[in-house]
Homo-oligomer: A and B are copies of this chain.
């Protein structure tokens, strides 16, 4: 607490207290070189007594590594970034590393400013995340060779490493489940098709139908909202194709669908089964009935990002686009 002098406790204070040189303290702290056990004990005792905490910034000057990663979000720390960040931070902090949060909100200027700050802070790597998984220009590292991972965001440079959920596989799994539980007329109500994820999920839906020899139902596009889920579902149900199941592009659409069906006197899942996408807790639980939904496992996506980032920082380069599996979470709607 009161070490007599002012300012933080340094390695010199420890050396003095233990009656050794600072080099010896350093060795004791890092288990390097050779040291008499007794000396080590003495040093560690002084460290405890003085409550000494090594300054990692000073250490960084030597190693060239700061033990720090920058996370640039274009999601304003939104719903998708959160779990990714959680998984990432968990893995990195286990490795003694920290995460700098930056919010760029799809503003190139802000992103550039953040990049400058991060580089000045000597970060060891960059993670770029986004609100959606469409292609974006690669971050401009100005020739500085720094590991970069795009997660839930997609660099247009194929030499970059991009981590994404397997949207197509997720949709395939969901539709296969519907088919296995006896559904034969499966429609798809989803979001705007300028989203890559929308196109991929559509592909998975079609693939599962094709594999079972079932005809593709209609596909309806709209905004990602409950209101559109209701409207599109109503539209769908008065059409010629009477679905016995609907794969929804996200949980909000699915919840809108559930409401529309119930209010038109149809039962879920007896008359029409429903599967959502995102497995967003507040949505799936509030839905009537509770919604079966595809989970993109974003937490795990973030954790995998962390593991790969550690590898890259240690010198193993990685590139390409990797898709991690989604999982279907069963509830009452399908």
A interface residues with partner B (beta carbon < 8 Å):
1-2, 7-8, 51, 53-58, 60-61, 64, 66-68, 71, 76-78, 82-83, 85-86, 89-90, 93, 96, 98-103, 113-114, 116-122, 142-144, 225-227, 252, 255-256, 282-283, 285-286
Contacts and interface: CB of A to CB of B under 8 A. Distances in A.
A64 B285 CA distance: 49
Which interface residue of A55, A90, A99, A225 has the most chain B CB atoms within 10 A? Answer: A55
A120 B85 CA distance: 22
Nearest to A98: B100
A99 B98 contact: no
8 A-B pairs with least C-beta separation: A1-B143, A226-B286, A77-B82, A98-B100, A101-B101, A57-B57, A56-B120, A99-B101
Nearest to A224: B282
B89 A103 contact: yes
Nearest to A262: B263
Contacts of A89: 77, 101-103
A282 to B, nearest CB: 7
A96 B96 CA distance: 24
Number of copies: 2
A163 B1 CA distance: 28
B93 A113 contact: yes
A126 to B, nearest CB: 13
A118 B96 CA distance: 10
8 contacts: A1-B143, A51-B143, A61-B61, A67-B121, A68-B121, A98-B102, A101-B101, A225-B286
Contacts of A256: 286
A66 B77 contact: no
Contacts of A85: 77, 101
Contact of A122 (B56, B71, B90): B56
B286 A252 contact: yes
Given A77-B77, A93-B102, A116 B53 contact: yes
B103 A100 contact: no
Contacts of A144: 8
B100 A286 contact: no
A99 B70 CA distance: 10
Given A77-B77, A82-B82, A117-B96, A225 B56 contact: no
Contacts of A99: 100-101
B286 A227 contact: yes
A97 to B, nearest CB: 8
Contacts of A8: 64, 144
A225 B285 contact: yes
A55 B102 CA distance: 19
A156 to B, nearest CB: 21
A60 B121 CA distance: 10
A69 B93 CA distance: 16
A57 B121 contact: yes
A191 B256 CA distance: 26
A93 B114 contact: yes
Contacts of A55: 61, 120, 122
B7 A64 contact: yes
A265 to B, nearest CB: 14
